[in-house]
Amino acid sequence: MDKLTRRGFLGLAGAAGVATGLAACAGTGSTATGTASGAAAGGGSSKVIWWSNHPGNSKEAEQKIIAAFQLANPGITVDLQDGGKNYEELAQKFNGALAGNAAQLPDVIVASDVTWFNFALNKQLAAVDDLMAAAGLKTDDYVDALYSDYLFNGKHYALPFARSTPLFYYNAEMWKNAGLEDRGPKTWQEFKEWAPKLQATIGSDKIPIILADGTNYLDWYFQNMAWNFGGAFSKEWTPTASDPKTIEAGKFLQELVAMKVVKFSKTPEADFQAGIAACMLQSTGALGGTTKNSKFAFKTAFLPGDGNCPTGGAGVAIPAGISEDRKKSAIKFVEFLTNTANTVLFTQATGYMPVRKSALDDAGEKAFLDKNPNSKVAVEQLAKTRSQDNARVLVQGGGARIGKSLDQVAAGQDVASVFAALDKETQGVIDAQIKPKL
Amino acid sequence: MSTHAQVGPSDRHRSPLMTTAGYAAMAFVVLIIAVPLLWIVVTSFKERQDIYVRPAQWIPNPATTDNYSTVVTTIPFPAYFRNSLIITAALSTAKIVLGVLSAYALSLLRFPGRSIVFLIVISALMVPNQITVISNYALVSQLGWRNTYQGIVIPLAGVAFGTFLMRNQFLSLPTEIIEAARLDGAGPMKLLWRVVMPMSWPTLVAFSLITVVNEWNEYLWPFLMSDNEATAPLQVGLTILQNNEGGTNWGPVMAGTVLTVLPILILFLMLQRQMIKGLTAGAVKG
């Protein structure tokens, strides 16, 4: 091809400059039109656009609730739109929408425990306290631990919706064969004593416990282990992964690996359901699917430890950029979506937690729980939950960062140095992105 | 071919050991590629409890077509399918036409600033499209093109890759033929259609195939641009079958995958024959 001449290079540089300028215009232009055109197009107060990833295959349940809402509020229609296959995709899509025209923002989005905060921090979500108060609705019936997860600077930025916790699933028959009591381990130390007994009876081609790997929320489950040993990923905005107690938990995980009683997998539920793992930690949201997929009877139990169960899952949030009229309709719908009757409906369809205190007094829910002891365990564990560490859920990229470190620990790297490096990274993000905005 | 055989007689009398090794290697490669595909097909006919079992079930027992009816009933499959066809057809046509015309201009026509234009096009090839997503989004959103076909198609229709590929192909053609055609009085379009294109079929077909497969599998941009089945393609629709937080029912997902792959597979088989025809047709005549 022709040589790259000086003139050619200058032309190229100029063209690149123009292109960059255009891109910048596109970005800034949108903000201007966004504020100007307001609610002209898009949702509008009579139409609520809801982006959901249908947690727990819940599209059908969501549609039922929407139908009931439209019946009760004839002036408002709700448009349920697919926001992606998981929380991260939905957050990505919402991020894209924020760059566009405000009139085209959705009215309601599903926001997970790790995705909501960054939006709230950048003032992209509306505070629900004010909206609820203005609409004359109360928030005190929400389960406190779940509602307070969305607290930031004195305001809440989402309402709990598809909330889950990890749950201890075990294969009852393998438990029996190993001569273990029919219950989950009280502490992780107790599980360590049990593991060899399990291994001896299930055979060497099966594994006593299967856990998700670092890219599939091991960081979520490991919080329980860290808390069991008195450690944590962080205290408020101070990272504490290099605290001796957290390191002890990391070493404990390594001991289990050394004993060859634990395996890590992208889809632990697959191995558990295939009957090649005696137990697993998995979200309560997987309860419905696991029940349908398994050929054998399994049981559930509280996580090891007391009061050591992290909360998780998703809430519903309202973008700050939409007009006040649209917000009014949106809050009305969101409250309806999470009211007592609907949280009961949604819970039973998926295995997620009831987010209202009054849901537990509901006669239908009581009957359901009596018939489904596994769900009952999950609901009872709710009283023993604890809000997650900031380093995982509030610091940008926290889950992935901790997951990567845990993968390194599981691969046998020195726990103290891995966790020290993790703390340093976490601190860096906090200093750069969060401290200035607090 | 025949001249090749004369050069190395050992080629004709390869030792049986080498032949066996060759076949073994071939079988191994085929196995690596085919087994996961076979697994997808097998799984799509299984009942839910039979998917995660050990030992693995290689023949669905009992076999069921429920997964396929689930796919068609739980998601508006025909609508997604239609969108995929429209988007892929429009995008591929735009890309192929633009690619061929721009490559032709940049390789065989002379005009001032040609190399600068080429450099700009090539530099566009270096920018990963994830980077332009946000600014494209802002632009398309301002135009009010979200949830429209043009909103999905136009931003994706840039073709640096095609330009690059086809330009190199055109440059590799013997200059004598081009000169001869020009001397015979062929204009630019006639030169393209009668001389250049017939000699470039194999490359064009390969390029078209890559383009069609790519567009069919396009995910990120259509996902951001479309909110429902009015414009979303199949790849976006399939994600609805998946479940987060564990417990995806893989049967319908696999069934959906099989249905999604089929049209591309058929097209591939058809075009592959064309590709070979193009290779053997022989370009230089008279």
Q: Is the dihedral of CA B219, B223, B225, B226 positive or negative?
A: positive
User: CB distance B52–A286 less than 8 Å?
Assistant: no
Average pLDDT over chain A reads 86
Residue A70 is predicted with a pLDDT of: 94
**Is A14 inside a domain boundary?**
no
Domain range for B222: 76-281
Does residue A270 share a domain with residue A195?
A: yes
**Is A231 inside a domain boundary?**
yes
If you average pLDDT over residues B89-111, what whole number do you get? Answer: 92
**Is A12 inside a domain boundary?**
no
**Is A21 inside a domain boundary?**
no
pLDDT, tens only, A378-414? 999 988 888 899 999 999 889 899 999 999 999 999 9
**Is B51 inside a domain boundary?**
yes
pLDDT, tens only, A152-182? 989 999 999 999 999 999 999 999 999 999 9
Minimum Cα–Cα distance from B112: chain A residue: A8
If you average pLDDT over residues A4-18, what whole number do you get? Answer: 44
pLDDT score of A53 more than 80: yes
Does residue A116 share a domain with residue A225?
A: no
**Is A94 inside a domain boundary?**
yes
Does residue A289 share a domain with residue A203?
A: yes
Minimum Cα–Cα distance from A164: chain B residue: B245
Does residue B151 share a domain with residue B275?
A: yes
User: CB distance B243–A56 less than 8 Å?
Assistant: yes
Does residue B132 share a domain with residue B56?
A: no
Confidence of residue A34 (pLDDT cuts 50, 70, 90): very low
Domain range for A126: 47-164+312-361
Does residue B120 share a domain with residue B34?
A: no
**At which of A361, A396, A425 does a domain end?**
A361
Does residue A142 share a domain with residue A61?
A: yes
Does residue A411 share a domain with residue A304?
A: yes
Average pLDDT over chain B reads 85
Does residue A357 share a domain with residue A324?
A: yes
**Is B9 inside a domain boundary?**
no
Does residue B98 share a domain with residue B141?
A: yes
Residue A23 is predicted with a pLDDT of: 39
Does residue A263 share a domain with residue A204?
A: yes
Minimum Cα–Cα distance from B46: chain A residue: A293
Does residue A264 share a domain with residue A146?
A: no
What's the number of domains chain A is made of? 2
User: CB distance A100–B140 less than 8 Å?
Assistant: yes
pLDDT, tens only, A59-106? 888 999 999 999 999 989 999 988 888 888 899 899 989 988 788 899
**Is B4 inside a domain boundary?**
no
Does residue B94 share a domain with residue B58?
A: no
Does residue B115 share a domain with residue B26?
A: no
Does residue A117 share a domain with residue A265?
A: no
**Is B151 inside a domain boundary?**
yes
Confidence of residue B227 (pLDDT cuts 50, 70, 90): confident
pTM value surpassing 0.90:
no
Does residue A306 share a domain with residue A186?
A: yes
- A99 contacts on B by Cβ (under 8 Å): 134-135, 137-138, 141
User: CB distance A283–B245 less than 8 Å?
Assistant: yes
A-B Cβ pairs (cutoff 8 Å, strict): 155
The torsion region of residue A44 among left (phi > 0), alpha (psi -120 to 50) and beta comes to: left
Does residue A274 share a domain with residue A172?
A: yes
**Is A318 inside a domain boundary?**
yes
pLDDT, tens only, A241-273? 999 999 999 999 999 999 999 999 988 888 898
pLDDT score of A35 more than 50: no
pLDDT score of B5 more than 50: no
Residue B276 is predicted with a pLDDT of: 67
Does residue B29 share a domain with residue B95?
A: no
Does residue B126 share a domain with residue B97?
A: yes
Does residue B175 share a domain with residue B54?
A: no
**At which of A361, A376, A397 does a domain end?**
A361
CB of B57 less than 8 A from some CB of A: no
**Is B6 inside a domain boundary?**
no
If you average pLDDT over residues B215-239, what whole number do you get? Answer: 89
The CATH number that applies at residue A350 is: 3.40.190.10
Does residue B152 share a domain with residue B118?
A: yes
Does residue A216 share a domain with residue A111?
A: no
Does residue B48 share a domain with residue B189?
A: no
**Is A88 inside a domain boundary?**
yes
**Is A8 inside a domain boundary?**
no
What's the number of domains chain B is made of? 2
pLDDT, tens only, A266-318? 888 888 988 889 999 999 888 888 888 888 889 999 999 988 999 998 999 99
Does residue B224 share a domain with residue B105?
A: yes
The CATH number that applies at residue B187 is: 1.10.3720.10
